[in-house]
Amino acid sequence: MKKMELPKINLPGLSDLRHANSGLAAVVKKEVADQLSGKRFLILTALVVVACFSSLYIAASEIKSAADSSFVFLKLFTTAGSRLPFSFTSFIAFLGPLVGLIMGFDGISGEKDRGTLSHVLSQPIYRDALINGKFLAGVLVLAFVIFGMGILTGALGLIIFGIPPTLEEVLRIICYLLLSVVYISFWHALSLLFSIVFRQPATSALAGIAIWLFLTLFAVFLIGMIADAIYPVTSTSDTEQVVANIRLNMLLGRFTPNVLYEQAVITLLNPSVRALGVVMFDQAIGAIDAPLSVGQSILLVWPHLVGIFAAMLVCFAIGYYLFMRQEIRA
């Protein structure tokens, strides 16, 4: 008997969807290969790795001499020494944004400068597949680097101490690494936005570095000046005035992604942190002096996580909109 052949159904737009998916996969593969083989990325990543492992060596020495042995693996990430007053998390917070900026500052402007953007789009690759592929490739490379460093750090801690981490420590470290990927992806999305706005890669890089320097160094002083102007604190100020100044300072600081990241990291890697604001004496009465669980720490920093993720999406959405409406000439 002859087998009955079912008729092929061609849905409208189905072929376009297949081409878009294939184009996205091709862009992601190419961008990941270019990022991992690029000399500037390898040099900057090597700098971050050397700086972080130097801080880990000093932190391990400090932890060995300390009497408290609770949450040893978490202290490996957060402890700083006297010779090198920076911890593993401090180096990631300071140098991580540079990695994100370096990865995306010439994502689109470099293609325009070389005159290859029109040739790429003349292939069966849609615009949205190109911009999505460049961003996803950057996120994948960042996740590979951050989780690779986390695994190497855990292996080093296991060799040094000979004690495996607890399940709670592993969960906290995984949450920290995921948070770091999202935070550095924000800077990658910002640099990709500047590469769309500016035609020259040098201008895009300078704009990203300027924003990084402002948020890292100068925003703290500006926020302090605003808080002191609204709620001035002197030697004769009462407690309410001082508390109002501190609360306004913290509120304005949470509009910057680096402050959100730092507060979230402190909470995730230090279970003894129970609040992220001013705690009055009457509020502390009756509180149990015990470390928080992983779930409670995540609930405490959930607004920070959402804020960083939203900032990343906003930067990428603006860049996506501008790129889709740009006129691209050969």
Tell me the per-residue pLDDT of 227-256, one tens digit each, with 9 for 90 and over: 888 888 877 777 788 888 888 888 888 888
Give the global pTM: 0.85
Q: Which domain holds residue 263?
A: 33-278+291-325
pLDDT band at 65 (very low <50, low <70, confident <90, very high): low
Q: 3 lies in a domain? A: no
DSSP-assigned letter for residue 293: P
Q: 286 lies in a domain? A: no
pLDDT for residue 18 is more than 90: no
What is the per-residue DSSP string for 3-54? PPPPPP---TTHHHHHHHHHHHHHHHHHHHHHHHH-HHHHHHHHHHHHHHHH
The answer to whether 232 touches 248, Cβ cutoff 8 Å, is no
pLDDT for residue 181 is more than 90: yes
Q: Considering its fold, how many domains does the chain have in total?
A: 1
183-219 burial string, b = 16+ CB within 10 Å, else e? bbbbbbbbbbbbbbbbeebeebbebbbebbeebeeeb
Interacting residues of 312 by C-beta distance below 8 A, sequence separation 6+: 182, 185, 186, 189
Q: 26 lies in a domain? A: no
Q: 18 lies in a domain? A: no
Q: 11 lies in a domain? A: no
Q: 242 lies in a domain? A: yes
pLDDT, residue 136, reads 92
Q: 131 lies in a domain? A: yes
pLDDT, residue 17, reads 44
Q: 47 lies in a domain? A: yes
Residue with the bigger pLDDT between 63 and 130: it is 130
pLDDT, residue 105, reads 83
pLDDT for residue 328 is more than 80: no
Number of H helices, E strands in the chain: 14, 0
